[in-house]
Amino acid sequence: MTTAPGAEDATADAGHQEQVAGAGADRPIVLVVDDDPRRRSLVASLLDPHCTVLVGHDGADALEVVGRHAVDVLVLGSTRSGLLTELRARPASAAVPAILLTCRAEEDAVLQGLQSGVDDLLSVPSSAHGVLTGLRSALDVARSDHLDRAWRSAVLAASQEGCCVVDGARGAIVSANAAATDLLGLQPEDLPFGPPLPFLPAAEEDPEGSAMVESAWTRASTEERGRAVVPLRHATTRARIWVSISYIALPDRSRGGRSYLATLHDVTAARRATERDALLARAAALLTEPGPLTERLRQLIPIIARVLGGRVAVELRGPDGRSAPVAAAPVDRQAGNGNRQDGDDLVVPLVGTDRVLGTLRFAGLDFATTSDTGPAEGSRADVDVAELLARRIAAAVDADRVAERAARLHEVTTALASAGTLIETARALVDGVQRALATSTATVYALDPDGVHLHLVHRDGEGTASGEPVLRVDGPGAVARAASGHGPVWPPTSTGPVAAIPLTVGERVVGVLAVERSGSGHLLPDERELAAMLAGQAAQAFERAALADQRWQLARALQRALLPSSLPAFAQLALAAHYEPAQREFEAGGDWYDVFALGPARVALVVGDVVGQGPTAAAVMGQLRSVVSAYLHDGHSPAQALEGLDRTARRIPGARGSTALCLIVDTDSGDVAWSAAGHLPPLLAGPDGTRFAHGGEGALLGVSGRAPYCEGHETVVAGTTIALYTDGLVERRGQVVDDGLQRFAAVAERGHQRPSGELLDLLLAEVLGSDTGDDVALVLARLVPRPLERSLDADPLLLPGLRHDVHAWAVTAGMSEDGADDLQLALSEAVTNCVEHAYAGGTGEIRCRVHRTADGAVEASVQDFGAWRPPPADPGYRGRGLAVIHTLAEHVELHPTSQGTTIVFRVPATTEPLAQRTPGSGAPQWWTRQETPGPGTVPGC
């Protein structure tokens, strides 16, 4: 049939389009697409008696027709527009046979057409018989495919299970029954479905599920049949569904590939039931494992989130009533992926034995669903699991709370048992209460012996309502009420103490524990019970500590009475002493020392060590100290004094086996005599070296059959330090005593030029350290040089020599570097003043004298024999000497006479402030430290 172009073509094409509505189901549908109206009309007329013909002017018409009708054969006039490529990309037309109309029959034209992707070529113009013959094979294939699709549709529709046909090459769903579309959340009118398929889990949404689907598809592409269970997502609700897919490969005759017939079975309920059971079993195991509860919850919550989906968090309430998250497993959601809101879908309280402990919160719950609404059974099962998990977590929190409080109670009980003083007991109680009850402030008061006042022992925290140093028992407030016999007080107000608990022993109140807590902060019943238990334990420790404090007071008084309250001051001897008891419970020790004058230039130094420790040893020590002092004051030598001490020791119980060392030093001559009864030798450290004194060794006191005590003698030079000590300084358990002695001598050698106090600190730090397992007594006596006297001409060029002599004298005298510098500068200024004011450039004599006073200061005097000129009205840059001396020295005096002028000044005993050593974690704080002038001290420069 030939049709002229123009309106006739349009009318003819419209007639062919209208035939589709009345076409029989057994007539194949052929789409003819050609922009040549004559050829299009010719082909349509030839095919019209045998099939239903649809025509298209161009690619847009063709795509519209394919979208509305199931085309069996495509007849194309050209492939240049890319229409065939786009039709192959659509699932509805991907497998439809395509025939290309061509006007050339040459071989190259045929090859070019086949390369474009068509299935056959027809040469036009041709006879009607030729065209029909050429199309017959394509129509046969189309009719067969048409029947196959009809058969498959009938089979799929008849199946009760979800069934679908999948294009194996593209992964598109060609057809599916209602059960399959309902399961996957698809709309039947949208068939066929091409990639991307909306029910597949995205990698960012469900990495594990996406990997499982990818693995199953890879395996299916190489198998003829098989089965896989994969997690999918409902296309509408995005809920996770587990689907069991059984598939078998079908040959695709039209494309030469394969398709798959798949049967879909929803196994979500069974799968989630298994997962829920496994989740509950894993939760039970995790929650009963040892270790911190928060760590166990942080392991459990991600498991819950993987099984139930969405975001899961556990919040626990603190003592202040506020909830705080302790574990969470967030799951990022892309906007628009589901219809869940950001709020919590489910909040389950964690109910303990006596209160709500916190919440288990779910957001974006992934309930099992197979439709837009989803069955109530899956949601109910998830809620049931969530509630059961909440009960198990609450039980674990309760058990952890009980275990934690038991541990805290044990810690506090242990700390209280080891506390030796009232302050240590209070600190242990406050620390334990704050950790166990999370209080902001805890305060401990002790009841005074008068029964009327409470004094603050220890307080820690930032509260403001408690902490007054002294309270009256009959005063206002919760603390006073608790102390007056009203029992524990639990104030209802949110400000001030939330608890005031009396510390009672029997019926007696010995103190009060006051507790504050920030926020709402009231103590819950179980917390009140724990606080009362802690207070009960502390009360017993308070009584023990009070008795220990009394013993400490007695021991301190005894020790102070037995040791020198102060050391004498000597101009030629710089002394420093230290006593430290062993690290025991505030016991007086058996080590002792004494220093006293025997004459104008003779000084006695004595140390001793009584066997044992405590009051008995201290009493023995006091008697021995008195005896040896009496013998030495009577004029006996050190050996004779020890002979008398030995006779006394035989009569005093507990004195046998004690040691003692007597030493007498002549400060004028430097002669030293000593005798030892089983004691370690004195150490001599000075300009001529460091050594232990030899000779004068004797047996322990009270030993029968011993040899007579003998003496050792030596002469020391100025600047030598004599060290007397007890064995606690150098002996260490597991070490040879010689090692300690060598260490002692090495440190003394290194620091012998330091002032006595600094040397004492150095020895205690590096020799004693923190190991005070035994009593320690240490006495240092530094022989100070004789006064420095110089007479020189009034010549400024002689000042360097004078400064050199003064510095050497200051070092020998044990002055500090600062003190020596001050002395040199002040003395130089005084001499310069004499040169300029008394002699005005002439000749004359200047006399200088430097000596150490008994209080440890250094006094200097500069005398001239001239007449001082009046100072000028404007001294300019000169004339500042006296001002400098006033700055560096003290007690500056100017004595003018007719024979001359004398400048006198003092440089104080300046040493660096001595750091107070802590004698050990358990040692009392009343150890003796004597070095600077004053009560219990001795000059230390």
Three-class secondary structure assignment of 187-251: CHHHCCECCCCCCCCCCCCCHHHHHHHHHHHHHHCCCCEEEEEEEEECCCCCCEEEEEEEEEEEE
Residue 333 confidence (pLDDT): 42
47 part of a folded domain: yes
- 3-state per-residue secondary structure call for 629-646: HHHHHCCCCHHHHHHHHH
Q: Exposed, middle or buried by CB within 10 Å (0-12, 13-18, 19+), for 804?
A: exposed
Asked which of 270, 287, 311 is the last residue of a domain, the reply is: 270
Q: Any alpha helices (H) in 340-462, and if so which ranges?
A: 376-418, 422-437
Asked which of 110, 129, 153 is the last residue of a domain, the reply is: 153
- 852 lies in the same domain as 730: no
CA distances from 811 to 634, 650, 750 (A): 36, 46, 14
Q: Any alpha helices (H) in 634-680, and if so which ranges?
A: 638-651
The CATH number given to whatever domain includes residue 666 is 3.60.40.10
At 599, give phi and psi (nearest 5°): 175, -175
Is the bond leading into 125 cis (omega within 30 degrees of zero)? Answer: yes
Residue 21 confidence (pLDDT): 43
The CATH number given to whatever domain includes residue 174 is 3.30.450.20
803 part of a folded domain: yes
36 part of a folded domain: yes
Write out the H or E segment, with its range, that includes residue 546.
helix 525-562
Residue 912 confidence (pLDDT): 38
User: By the 8 A CB rule, do 801 and 631 touch?
Assistant: no
Task: For residue range 79-134, list pLDDT tens digits in order.
Answer: 555 777 777 667 667 667 777 777 655 555 556 655 666 767 766 655 556 666 66
In this structure, what token pair is assigned to residue 336?
A: 């628009």
Report which of 797, 238, 319, 731 is spatially closest to residue 517, judged by C-alpha positions: 319
Report which of 913, 912, 719, 686 is spatially closest to residue 807, judged by C-alpha positions: 719
Residue 939 confidence (pLDDT): 30
Report which of 42, 22, 46, 24 is spatially closest to residue 34, judged by C-alpha positions: 42
168 part of a folded domain: yes
392 part of a folded domain: no
**CA distance linking residue 701 with residue 800, whole number of Å:** 56
Residue 243 confidence (pLDDT): 92
Is the bond leading into 196 cis (omega within 30 degrees of zero)? Answer: yes
- 39 lies in the same domain as 125: yes
Chain centre distance of CA 150: 72
- 527 lies in the same domain as 432: yes
**CA distance linking residue 605 with residue 629, whole number of Å:** 10
229 part of a folded domain: yes
Report CA dihedral (203, 205, 207, 208) to the nearest 10 degrees.
-130
- 699 lies in the same domain as 834: no
Number of domains in the chain: 5
Q: Supply the range of the domain harboring residue 257.
A: 160-270
Task: For residue range 301-330, list pLDDT tens digits in order.
Answer: 988 888 887 789 999 887 667 788 888 886
Asked which of 741, 756, 783 is the last residue of a domain, the reply is: 783
Q: Any alpha helices (H) in 3-127, and if so which ranges?
A: 7-18, 37-47, 59-68, 83-89, 107-115
User: By the 8 A CB rule, do 582 and 613 touch?
Assistant: yes
Amino acid at 770: S
Residue 690 confidence (pLDDT): 93
User: By the 8 A CB rule, do 573 and 783 touch?
Assistant: yes
Angle between helices 422-437 and 525-562 (to 10 degrees): 160
- 630 lies in the same domain as 656: yes
User: By the 8 A CB rule, do 678 and 700 touch?
Assistant: yes
- 736 lies in the same domain as 834: no
User: By the 8 A CB rule, do 928 and 919 touch?
Assistant: no
- 802 lies in the same domain as 754: no
The CATH number given to whatever domain includes residue 900 is 3.30.565.10
Angle between helices 128-158 and 37-47 (to 10 degrees): 70
**CA distance linking residue 392 with residue 399, whole number of Å:** 10
Buried-exposed string 378-391: b where 16+ CB fall within 10 A, e elsewhere: bbebbbebbeebbe
- 260 lies in the same domain as 180: yes
- 221 lies in the same domain as 112: no
- Global pTM reads 0.47
User: By the 8 A CB rule, do 582 and 728 touch?
Assistant: yes
User: By the 8 A CB rule, do 471 and 479 touch?
Assistant: yes
Chain centre distance of CA 674: 59
The position carrying tokens 């220093």 is 595
The CATH number given to whatever domain includes residue 494 is 3.30.450.40
- 114 lies in the same domain as 201: no
Buried-exposed string 251-278: b where 16+ CB fall within 10 A, e elsewhere: ebebbeeebbbbbbebebbebbeebbee
- 184 lies in the same domain as 53: no
**CA distance linking residue 432 with residue 418, whole number of Å:** 14
Residue 697 confidence (pLDDT): 93
**CA distance linking residue 166 with residue 249, whole number of Å:** 9
List Cβ neighbours of 14 (8 Å cut-off, separation of 6 or more): none
Q: Mean pLDDT by 10-residue block, N- to C-terminus, for the chain (941 residues)?
A: 39 48 61 82 79 82 80 74 72 72 60 63 62 65 60 63 83 84 84 83 85 90 89 85 89 65 88 86 89 89 84 83 83 39 72 86 63 52 88 89 81 78 83 79 83 84 67 83 82 74 82 77 76 80 74 68 78 86 61 90 93 78 90 93 93 91 93 94 92 93 92 91 92 86 93 85 85 81 87 84 86 81 87 82 85 80 83 59 83 86 82 33 36 32 26
The CATH number given to whatever domain includes residue 68 is 3.40.50.2300
- 148 lies in the same domain as 179: no
40 part of a folded domain: yes
847 part of a folded domain: yes
Q: Give the CA count within 13 Å in the CB-facing half-sphere of 730.
A: 24
Amino acid at 31: L
Report which of 124, 20, 72 is spatially closest to residue 132, judged by C-alpha positions: 124
